[in-house]
Structure 1
């Protein structure tokens, strides 16, 4: 029996959500597997990544021969997207395996779906919120409303309850004209809300962890041909 196709996922060391979301999505896709590895959450330069950690993580994933590698984290948007493009290019050069990131996948999805006015439910503080407005604007996406949980400890983001995320998504949708609400941290549990849209929301809710996974899955030849 041939082993399943697989996506390889690099996630932050303190993340408690990505693996759960991946399993939930793959439950509906028999014959697709996922392999995981982690890199340290902290210690990166303010404008980029500690490349050696990613090089080692990608090389370990490559031994499991996934079809694509995904960095499933949202840091790339905060530091301006270009470091994620450089990171993906480095991993592809080192492993020969296609690579993408959650931040890059999100921009692609928003553009392709013509979702340009976004409400952002995000992990960090007000300074991070202002920075995200700038970086998304540079990619043609306008953040017109937002809620910042003011969480700096990444592990603590996983403790935010889905009902609380949902309440802020509903509030943003009711106070601004939006094309979508984006839950922006792969350690915020937004997948339940994104997977079960409510009638009173009227617009899609997008979960960052799921967007990265779906982009990686979409690059698998069999799934890409079927979509």
Structure 2
């Protein structure tokens, strides 16, 4: 029997896109399965109440439950460090591994790794977020050396509402950002149905597009020792890195 590869995925409680998209991405890998743990996240904003949702205590509790399934890796499938600061994800990964003995990653740290490897200097942004949240994300990426080159966001706050953004909206937003000719486009939110559109949009625009559901899967597979080129139809990320 081929050794199973078990991916542990930490999921915002109101997210309805991450699980089916992740399962679809790994569907062609018979030895790989994804397993999900949730904790409360219902809104994305800079208020004290919204920011407290990302307290490590609740995330660690969910990670410890995932550890009972003996997963090979645990990934935080969220983008909160985009506005909280990337050091929050680095600290979280350290705490998850210390608590569970399991190596950890996040969607955003994986995205940052990709952008660094590809030496991206100009980055386009697509997200559903409020103006002030988006401004924080853009500023944090500029600090990393990825200048903003095209930005479309929807001004939404309710996390569930992100899942109801249509494919047509996402295609339009991405095409608009592409007109600024960034070196890459990041779709920053794990509750948007953008990942299934990436292959087509990359072919159309000629620009690599990195979706934060995809970056989590890509990094988790790499950490588990799985050849990511076996994931086909989900964009250049899996073929090139």
Whether the TM-score (by the shorter chain) exceeds 0.5 is yes
Structure 1 position 39 matched with structure 2 position 39:
yes
The answer to whether the Cα contact below 8 Å between 1:91 and 1:97 also exists between their aligned partners in 2 is: yes
Aligned to 2:127: 122
Alignment size in residue pairs: 226
The answer to whether the Cα contact below 8 Å between 2:40 and 2:53 also exists between their aligned partners in 1 is: no
Aligned to 2:22: 22
4+ long deviations beyond 2 Å? 42-49, 195-200, 221-224
Structure 1 position 156 matched with structure 2 position 178:
no
Gap regions ≥5 residues in structure 1 = none
Superposed, which structure 2 residues align to 1:39-78 within 5 Å? 39-42=39-42, 46=51, 49-78=54-83
Counterpart Cα distance in 1 of 2:224 and 2:49: 30
Counterpart Cα distance in 1 of 2:176 and 2:50: 35
CA change 1:163–1:180 in 2 (3 A) is same
Structure 1-normalised TM-score?
0.92
CA RMSD of aligned residues (A): 2.1
Q: 2:182 aligns with which of 175, 178, 184?
A: 178
CA change 1:44–1:184 in 2 (3 A) is same
Post-superposition offset of 1:37: 0.6
Instruction: Output one character per residue of 1:18-49: Cα deviation in whole Å (capped at 9) or x when no partner.
Output: 11111111112121111111011058673883
Post-superposition offset of 1:53: 1.0
Q: For residue 192 of structure 2, give the secondary structure of its aligned residue in structure 1.
A: coil
Post-superposition offset of 1:2: 5.9
Aligned to 2:234: none
Structure 2-normalised TM-score?
0.87
The answer to whether the Cα contact below 8 Å between 1:193 and 1:205 also exists between their aligned partners in 2 is: no
Counterpart Cα distance in 1 of 2:58 and 2:203: 43
